[in-house]
Amino acid sequence: MADNYVGLIVLEINGTDYEVTSVEPSLKTGRKVVKTMNRTGRATGTAKGIEEHDLKIAVPIPKSGEPDWRALMDAKITIYPQDGGSKRQTWTGCSLLEMGSKYQVEGEATRDLTVAALNYYTE
């Protein structure tokens, strides 16, 4: 029996689909190790922290009609598998933190976007 996995995804920002070469979501839990003086000489627990959601998105640069990525504020970003079978992932309150460009010998030129999100959920 063959295993089925998620393949290509569709990226949607505020209801508009965008061409994308890669998306790398990450979560930082914000948890901290609480160090105390005790007989074992080890930390004995953790403290709850504030979650941080970041997305690193690479989009090809079009010859004309490139979106104004600097204006990306309080956006809703959703990714979902193109072939179905998995839940949609949605980030809300998204704002652009960094934008860079990559030009290489082989392949297309891309914009590298780093986006911070305030909330994450699956649908």
Phi, psi of 71 (to 5 degrees): -85, 5
* Contact of 22 with 58, CB cutoff 8 Å: yes
What is the pLDDT at residue 5? 75
What is the pLDDT at residue 30? 95
Name the pTM for this structure: 0.86
Residue ranges of domains in the chain: 9-122
What is the pLDDT at residue 92? 97
Please provide the CATH number assigned to the domain covering 9-122.
2.30.110.20
Neighbours of 123 (CB within 10 A): 8
Q: For residues 30 and 53, what is the distance between their CA atoms, to the nearest angstrom?
A: 11
What is the pLDDT at residue 110? 95
What is the pLDDT at residue 122? 94
Low pLDDT (below 70) residues in the chain: 1-3
Kindly provide the residue ranges of all beta strands, DSSP E only, lying in the chain, ordered along the sequence: 9-13, 16-18, 22-28, 32-34, 45-47, 52-60, 75-81, 89-102, 110-117, 119-122
What is the pLDDT at residue 1? 55
What is the pLDDT at residue 83? 79
